[in-house]
Every structure is written in structure tokens, then in C-alpha cells.
Amino acid sequence: MKIGFIGLGNMGGPMAANLAAEGHDVIGFDMADVSIQGVTMAASGAEAATGADVVITMLPNGQILRAVADQVIPAMTAGAALVDCSTVDVDSARAVAEKCTAAGLLFVDAPVSGGIGGASAGTLTFMAGGSTDAFAAAKPLFDIMGQKAVHCGEAGAGQAAKICNNMILGVTMIATCEAFALADKLGLDRQKMFDVVSTSSGYSWTMNAYCPAPGVGPQSPSDNGYQPGFAAELMLKDLRLSQQAAQSADADTPMGELAQALYAQFVENEDGTGMDFSAMLPRFEKRSRG
């Protein structure tokens, strides 16, 4: 298959390399001067998209996605598929889907879960929105780049699933960090706290699989000085997307709104930039109730 791949950063680079390693003809483009094993670099996004069976994008935000789509859609052949793996706002995903439909193209919005490690290992999870035909066109590539792909519904449904999931993740991590900070001040040993909660009604992924307390539970970023597995600023981005979607859909999400405010404070006014999103725990440790 001939694949155009636009956006070859920390996530897109290894994803493109995995496709090339499986024998696909991958033509890449990125604004930065990058070199990806097995990928032939083009001079523009339009050049990478010309003649491609599938064009994959991995971009920072919805505004950039819309701009790139305007460049590549005219260069694509009718019947080809545009697969956007970025995490962007639902409205942008749906707007690009409409442009693809008008041009006779298939479109899938397929944000991912699994981080840089998952991109390198080919173990990402894809949350996909689009028609049945569009999903079928992208599925063989999802199977190379990831371990699971869920067809969530029509265009925009992939983004909706991602931001709803990550709103839960952000809220739950804050609650987990608050609880550890409270346990400390109550004199409760962290290991004992973990032993109880991880097997009781308070268990969660943030407690059981990604514990924010160093030396407790399975290995996690807290055991590596909170170097990011999932950076706090990326969590803030996703929480902002969740609240943008909530406003657009007239949904009441007070916990999501508060989580966004706390991560904004942490990232923009404290020392959260460049830290894992679980570094909320040392933040709460240092704070008093006042």
C-alpha cells in the first residue's frame, strides 16, 4: 500500500517506521527536518499525499489539522482514505470529514492511547470514528501500528471516546494523588494504603497500574522522578478538549472542569511542565488546606 504520513514527531515517527517495516511504501512529511527509517521524505504534505491509498496525519491540534487537510485533500485520489490519528476537538474532526466526503474520500478520526512507548512497540489502541468502509480501509494499518482498534461510530466518535476517557483519567489521577497526600498526613503507610485500595472499592487504573507514589505498585513514572509517560501538559490539552466539547454539547461536567483548572494551575503557574501527569502527588504533598 502507498501511504502518505504527515507529522513525524515522537508519535508519528515510530508509527510510520512500523508501517515501512511491514513493507508498505511510506512517503513522509514533517515541518522539522527529520529522518525516519524506511520512510521516503517529501517536500510538502501535498506531495506525500499524491497517489497515496491512505494518508495518515499525526498533528498537534485541530487548527493545524484543518490547514493540512486543505493542502492534502485536493492532492488525494478519489476513493483514498484520510486517517487522522491526532487528538483534536470533535468539531475539527467532523469538519474535515465533511470536506473528505465532498471530495469523494474516506475519512477516519482515530486518536490513540499508549504513548510514545506504544507507538514504538506497535501496541497502540485506536479509537476510530467514520463509516464502516472508511474503518475497513484503515484497519490493516491499525493492526500494524497497534494492538487494538475500536470502531466507535461515525466521524468524530473517535475523538469523543478519547476525550471522555481522558477526562476520567485526569479526574481519577487527581483523586488518587489527593488520597495519598491525605493518607500521609493521617500517618498511614503508603504501601498499606495501596494494599487496601488496590483490592477495594477505590481501585482504579491510576492506583493499580500507574500508581503516583514512588516504590508502590508496579513500575511507573513516579519511580523515575516523574519523567513523563504522559506529560501533564498533554493531560491539560485533553481536559481542555473535553470542556470545549462539553460546552458545545451543553453537558454539565463539573469534575472535568475542576480537573482542567487544577492541571492548568500545575502546568502554567507551578512546576508541572515537563513532568508526568502523576506528579500531582508531590504537588499535593507540599500543600496545606488553606
Examine the pLDDT at 86 and tell me if it is beyond 90: yes
The catalytic residue positions are 162
pTM for the full model? 0.90
Q: How far is CA 154 from the centre of its chain?
A: 19
Residue 162 near residue 139, CB atoms below 8 Å: no
CA dihedral 74, 76, 78, 84 (to 10 degrees): -100
Residue listed under C-alpha cell 471530495: 103
Record the cell numbers describing residue 261, joined without a space. Answer: 483548572
Residue 116: pLDDT band (50, 70, 90) is: confident
Query: What average pLDDT does range 154-182 have in this prediction?
Result: 97
Examine the pLDDT at 117 and tell me if it is beyond 90: no
